[in-house]
A = this chain, B = another copy of it.
Amino acid sequence: MVQEKAMPSEETLDPEDWESMRALGHRMVDDMLDDMKTIRERPVWQPTPDQVKAHFKRPVPLDPQPLEEIYEEFLENVLPYRRGNIHPRFWAWVVGTGTPLGVLAELLAASVNSANSRVEKQVIDWFKEVLGFPASASGLLTSGCSAANLIGLAVARNTKAGFDVRREGIQATPHKMVLYASQEIHMSIQKAVELLGLGSDALRLVPVNDDFQVDLEALKATIAQDRQDGHLPFCVVGAAGTTNTGAIDDLSALADVCLQENLWFHVDGAFGAWAALTPGARNQVAGMERADSLAFDLHKWMYMPKEIGCVLVRREEEHRKAFSLTPAYLARGEGGRGMTGGGLRNYGFQLSRGFRALKAWMSLKEHGIRKYGRLIQQNIDQARYLAELIDAAPELELAAPVTLNVVCFRYLRPGLGDAALNALNKEILVELQEQGIVVPSGTTIRGKYVLRVGHTNHRSRREDFDILVCEVIRIGKALSLS
């Protein structure tokens, strides 16, 4: 070939010394498994010292640094200052814990370095099977429930607009498109509505009842008013597990409303969808299987390492119609031979897609779906156990009914009004977190600042909740004295 010229030597990013890389890999596996095995012995969380923070201000590395040195930096400056969510006493927000095989699966997935549509479709088929969706539904694994909600609402928007919204855009709508959710709905719904160009004022936030479920009469009245005002109601978003309190809307009733009103029924089931696996809470999510689209996570309940969420869409053609696009450089070879993708890119906005399906595939095989059902039930039972502890403690007060896995409560001190109690409970939360013993988060419910346990942790035991209650009371008393 063109060999006459002097050719420069070629290099690669592969190591010259594969054995050192292998030794490092083995060390990482040992360290990470040891870390997970012994995590209970360490603080849940610790603040980052200033000298560690300063470490991350250095300019871009110009030249290579030895492998072992890089790893030591990770062990010293990164690992100890993580968020803490793999710890058995971490219950802040709703953050999953991960599992050892889930972690190892990510190693394999990165090695393969591309989505495998057969594995992904099988995993989605399993989700359809256990969540009551028809086999003909379509689905896509996503970075999480925010992306899944965005995709579900995009399909809803495009299907219900009554014109070609992909081509003409929202400004072509003759009537303002409006949708409905409870005041307790997750922020990702508003973010999706904004991104989709509908405007947050198109999202009608309907009041909730005493159980923090959407008020059905208020919902119907709002829809009627919108129709009277010449708007176009197109979608109801039901919550299967709100962030604040874990409340689950009456999904059967919402499905009925959507049927009567010809609205798209989307369910945000981030963690709560998985109540479907339990004997004790399955009935609470009845009606979810009637949704037009369902979004949920695998990295909250289901305990898989981040990032993995999923969206299911009841009618595949509506899903595909909202997202498919095939430029020349992606056109399939004729006759179906050659290399073809699985077409999953036609169900979302990502084109290059990693192999997040693998951890789901391996994890479901490792444990079987029945064990997931038992673990989720265990979390629900532990949340009730915590609620009983709180009920039994005169210093503590539950702020909302505990129907699933979220427990909101506050420390009381006689003689203090809500404003002072809010300040005290904020301080208690900071102390709990900074002392590294237990990590709940905080929220505000009907004007009261409360501690919030969002429990999707497969490592927690009842004794961990005993510790939580003791610590809140201990710190509450100490702060009251100071």
Contact = CB atoms under 8 A, between A and B. Distances in A.
Interface in A295-325: 297, 299-300, 303, 305-307, 323, 325
A418 interface: no
A220 interface: no
A144 B385 contact: no
Interface stretch (A208-216, A250-258, A280-288, A369-377): A369-377
Nearest to A21: B100
A222 interface: no
A166 B194 contact: yes
A177 B170 CA distance: 11
A166 B338 CA distance: 44
Contact of A59 (B129, B297, B458): B129
A101 B67 contact: yes
Contact of A11 (B13, B366, B375): B375
Which 4 A/B pairs are nearest by Cβ-Cβ distance? Answer: A197-B197, A169-B199, A25-B29, A306-B354
A14 interface: yes
Interface stretch (A233-241, A459-467, A474-482): A459-467
A449 to B, nearest CB: 9
Contacts of A83: 114, 116, 339
9 contacts: A22-B33, A29-B29, A78-B112, A98-B111, A114-B306, A171-B199, A307-B353, A331-B444, A333-B430
A57 to B, nearest CB: 7
Contacts of A370: 62-63
Contact of A13 (B12, B61, B99, B199): B99
A352 B171 contact: no
A201 B366 contact: no
B15 A25 contact: no
Contacts of A7: 462
B144 A350 contact: yes
A10 interface: yes
A416 interface: no
A171 B171 contact: yes
A338 B430 contact: yes
How many identical subunits does the complex contain?
Answer: 2
A374 B12 CA distance: 10
Contact of A328 (B73, B196, B426, B444): B444
A168 interface: yes
Contacts of A18: 33, 37, 100
A42 interface: no
A397 interface: no
A64 interface: yes
Interface in A17-74: 18, 21-22, 24-26, 28-30, 32-33, 35-37, 45, 47-48, 53, 56-65, 67, 70, 73-74
Contacts of A197: 157, 165, 169-170, 196-198
A53 to B, nearest CB: 7
Given A143-B350, A433-B338, A442 B333 contact: yes
Contacts of A177: 171
A168 B32 CA distance: 48
A116 B82 contact: yes
Interface string A369-399: 1110011001001100100110010000000
Candidate in A194, A329, A442 with the most chain B CB atoms within 10 angstroms: A329
A156 interface: no
A106 B93 CA distance: 24
